[in-house]
Chains A and B, each alone.
Chain A
Amino acid sequence: MDVDIIFKIAAIGILTAIIGQVLKQTGKDEISTLATLAGLIIVLIMVLNLIADLFTSLKTIFNF
């Protein structure tokens, strides 16, 4: 749970950027935008899971 998720997100970010550039060079522009979007969505899902955990634990602590 600790630091690895930060590195995972950073890695996904760099990977999507590189894949986007490569696809753009080979001329497939639409696929490169799709690839960057896919990377963004994966990261957002991971962050949403974290935020959901935060809200549930805060609810239990501050007994909302």
Chain B
Amino acid sequence: MDIIFKIIAIGLITCVATLIVRPVRADFAIIISIVGGLIIIFLIINYLTGIFDIINQILGISGINSGLYTVLLKIIGIGYLIEFTASICADTGNSSLGDKVLLGGKIIIMVMALPIITTILDIIMELLP
């Protein structure tokens, strides 16, 4: 349970470090904030694996074919990566670039989600008389 204190500590330390370095070297401040975010993510990454294993078991029991689950996992991963880069772009000041990255991510997620939509339509077609 002490992981939450570690995360808070790293967040505060990164903020203070960026404040210290900003007047001396502006570009290092952005790099330090990126590294702080990365460290926090590394701390929580093994919790993620636990969550996804449990979801996998639940889905296994419920009988939904695992193809949907892997696509869903990929979409979550892409969504997270895109948000990570877009927020860094916004941090460095070029938010228009962040929006373009978001747009690209949405389109890729849409492309990956199409097979799910087609399977749902097939299921509905079977239900109809």
Contacts and interface: CB of A to CB of B under 8 A. Distances in A.
A and B are partners in one complex rather than unrelated chains: yes
Interface of A: 1-3, 5-7, 9-10, 12-14, 16-17, 40, 43-44, 46-47, 50-51, 53-54, 57-58, 61-64
B70 interface: yes
Interface stretch (B30-38, B94-102, B120-128): B30-38
Kindly name the residue among A17, A50, A62 whose own CB sees the greatest number of chain B CB atoms within 10 A. Answer: A62
- Chain A interface, >50% SS class: helix
Contact of A64 (B9, B21, B77): B77
Interface in B3-45: 6, 9-10, 13-14, 17, 20-21, 24-25, 27-28, 31-32, 34-36, 38-39, 41-42, 45
Contacts of B32: 6, 9-10, 13
Interface of B: 6, 9-10, 13-14, 17, 20-21, 24-25, 27-28, 31-32, 34-36, 38-39, 41-42, 45, 48-49, 52, 70, 73-74, 76-77, 80-81
Contacts of A17: 24-25
Contact of B13 (A6, A13, A40, A64): A6
Contacts of A63: 70, 73-74
Contacts of B39: 1-3, 5-6, 50
